[in-house]
Amino acid sequence: MFDRLAAIEERFEKLEGWLGDPQVASRPEELQRHAREHADLARIVEPYREYRRIEAELKTSRALLEEGDEAIRELAREEIALLEGRRAELEARLKELLIPRDPNDARDIILEIRAGAGGEEAALFAADLLRMFIKYAESQRWRVEIMSTSGTGSGGYKEVIASIAGRGAYSRLKYESGVHRVQRVPVTESQGRIHTSTVTVAILPEPEEVEVAIDPKELRIDVFRSSGPGGQSVNTTDSAVRVTHLPTGLVVSCQDEKSQHKNKAKALRVLRARLLDLAQEEQRQQISEARRTQVGTGDRSERIRTYNFPQGRVTDHRIGLTLHRLEDVLEGDLAPLIEALIAHYQAEALKAAS
């Protein structure tokens, strides 16, 4: 571990030299790339340098134990206990920092929510989940943009797609991908029976345009008149857009904007995210089971969480965590779940790396 840390510090010092080089400063793209890497390595180098400083102070304090003055030896023993505690904290922190990072963690996301089993009740819960994610995003001061909706007459959603932009959006929401199950009495249930419905959530990292190049020749663009729930017309022009990516068969439709151009731009953003996810899924299938455990499977067919209304509880099945705070969670208080999931997967990654 310490050989790796020494190599990282050496690279960090080289980058510092390059950032002060006028020739590098005259090349903005290279300067920006070096600055990003420098900032990324700083989070490791700073605690590593503190660790080395603590080691030097421990050496000095241990030498004082050889002094003849008992008062000095007692002070040295107290100092050693404090320094050893801090050193242990730093060593644990450095082990975490050396875990390979998910390259998508810094990205914004495309959020896709689809009603599954349960008909209208599933669509209503899809709307509840959208509101939950929007509330959480607002608490993080992230920006939310609704990209596309397919609603129902009762205010639910068969499908809704949104973008969430902000620092750490993917790193904190990536574990929300999967099947969310709800158990409650539907508003349409006259006899008070509890129904179980499901909603599928997909969290896709959003790429830059240059990262996922789309050949216009590989696209089929169809335009049509948008409509709302029950066939109610939203507008009277052919502004809705359906984009089909011919090589993969992926289809994205957007109709929420009155402008055909804006709907097309939104559809292409969603398509890029799906193409990036498809490419990364192919890579994930080629790597080892240990590595897949380390980064989390992101399997959207996996039942990950149950929201039980009669008991007021939320259970995350992956980590066996149950919270009796259903209302708070649906109001966007996702932090206890997210922090527990991050801690769990970091622990799994540490085991895999050791």
Inside any domain, residue 29:
yes
Q: What is the largest CA-CA distance in the chain?
A: 94
- In this structure, the answer to whether residues 163 and 51 fall within a common structural domain is no
**pLDDT tier for residue 233 given thresholds of 50, 70 and 90:** very low
| For range 301-307, the mean pLDDT | 84
36 Cβ partners below 8 Å, 6+ apart? none
- Boundary-marking domain end, from 97, 130, 160: 97
- In this structure, the answer to whether residues 181 and 278 fall within a common structural domain is yes
Amino acid at 134: I
- In this structure, the answer to whether residues 30 and 166 fall within a common structural domain is no
Domains of the chain: total: 2
Instruction: Dump pLDDT digits (tens) for 187-219.
Output: 767 677 889 999 999 999 888 765 677 888 888
Phi-psi region of 303 (alpha: psi -120 to 50; beta: other; left: phi over 0): beta
276 Cβ partners below 8 Å, 6+ apart? 204, 205, 206, 207, 211, 212
- In this structure, the answer to whether residues 61 and 133 fall within a common structural domain is no
- In this structure, the answer to whether residues 136 and 207 fall within a common structural domain is yes
Angle at 144 between CA 138 and CA 145, to 5 degrees: 160
Q: What pLDDT is stored for residue 98 in this prediction? A: 79
Inside any domain, residue 44:
yes
Inside any domain, residue 263:
yes
CATH assignment at residue 15: 1.20.58
Inside any domain, residue 102:
no
**pLDDT tier for residue 294 given thresholds of 50, 70 and 90:** very low
Token pair for 220: 């089929």
- In this structure, the answer to whether residues 132 and 29 fall within a common structural domain is no
- d(CA 244, CA 92) in angstroms, rounded, equals 48
Q: Which domain range does residue 18 map to? A: 2-97
- In this structure, the answer to whether residues 59 and 146 fall within a common structural domain is no
Inside any domain, residue 354:
no
Count each helix (H run) and each strand (E run) in the chain, helices first.
Answer: 10, 11
- Boundary-marking domain end, from 67, 97, 127: 97
